Amino acid sequence: MGDESLEAIMKVRPIHEMGEELLGAAATLLHQQGDVSAALLAADVITVELVLWDSGDYQPDGYRAFFTVEPQLVSEFTDAIQGRIEAAMCTVLPRSAAAIISSIVVQPVIPRPASNWRDQVRGAGGPKPTNHARRVREDLPNHPVEDDLHFTNEWEHRVYQVLKEKQAALPDDETIGIMPLCKMRVLGTTREPDFLITYKGRAGVIEVDGPHHEGPKRASNDHSRTRLLINGGVEWVDRLDVRDSTDKTEVQKFVNNFLSRLGRR
């Protein structure tokens, strides 16, 4: 949204195209009000679609908000959570809007079936779930893969290669463990850190941040995620800007500083 108000955006865009802006403003409001659980779930919504809905002859026009989320998160959007997000979206809706957000529908991302999906479904227990990089496997068929580990993009892959070199250079009895894109349950939500690193009996997290992490809303969400991870037992969380990941020397410096901080905490 930048510095533009929702009122200004509405002058050039119809309300049905403003789902992302409305949800972002609502999540920020919820966070400021102390409702961190609802704010974080709102941040986990992948897509928002606003569809005009028949609210009745004597009711104001209403928009139904369709949220697309990871399948395992659908159950976390309880009626209470949806009600708080809906109320926040109505609160941030500009007064000039001739409609309200009347309801929310939460839908799972539709998985891409494997070529042998019939055999999987008919087999014992059905398709086998996996925590590692499930979304990457489904949505990004050309994503980087190395050592049977999956990465969202080339920047994460570059960081992994530097971590792997560092792993090989450390003494055998004092090296590191590298876990990319592992699912991690923390209080109230499920997180997927870019890298979970173990070192000297401690666990740390590295996040590789792209341009979408810029701005006060994303910074606030990142801070909340960091606090949840630390409260869940992670010793140290650090973030690398993708613009620095293109320079191997910068990545090496970042990894060395990260392990130094993690090792002495």
Whether residue 75 has pLDDT greater than 70: yes
More confident residue, 111 or 29: 29
Whether residue 186 has pLDDT greater than 50: yes
Least confident of 46-60, 97-111, 112-126: 112-126
Q: How confident is the model at residue 244 (pLDDT cuts 50, 70, 90)?
A: confident
The predicted pLDDT at position 214 comes to: 47
Nearest to 192 by CA among 248, 251, 130, 241: 130
Q: What is the mean pLDDT of residues 152-171?
A: 94
Least confident of 13-22, 62-71, 142-151: 13-22
Whether residue 238 has pLDDT greater than 90: yes
Residues 6+ apart with CB under 8 A from 119: none
**Which percentage of the chain shows pLDDT scores above 90?**
36
Q: How confident is the model at residue 199 (pLDDT cuts 50, 70, 90)?
A: very high
The predicted pLDDT at position 263 comes to: 87
Least confident of 65-69, 88-92, 118-122, 144-148: 118-122
Domains of the chain and any CATH numbers: 6-108 (3.30.70), 120-264 (3.40.1350)
Whether residue 256 has pLDDT greater than 70: yes
Residue 19 burial (C-beta neighbours within 10 Å; 0-12, 13-18, 19+): buried
Q: How confident is the model at residue 1 (pLDDT cuts 50, 70, 90)?
A: very low
Tens-place pLDDT, residues 2-60? 445 555 544 545 566 778 888 989 999 998 999 888 988 898 888 889 888 765 555 55
Q: 179 forms bridges with which residues in the sheet? A: 196
Report how far apart the first and last C-alpha atoms of the chain are (Å, whole number).
38
Residue 122: CB atoms within 10 A of its CB come to 9
For the chain, what is the radius of gyration of the CA atoms? 21
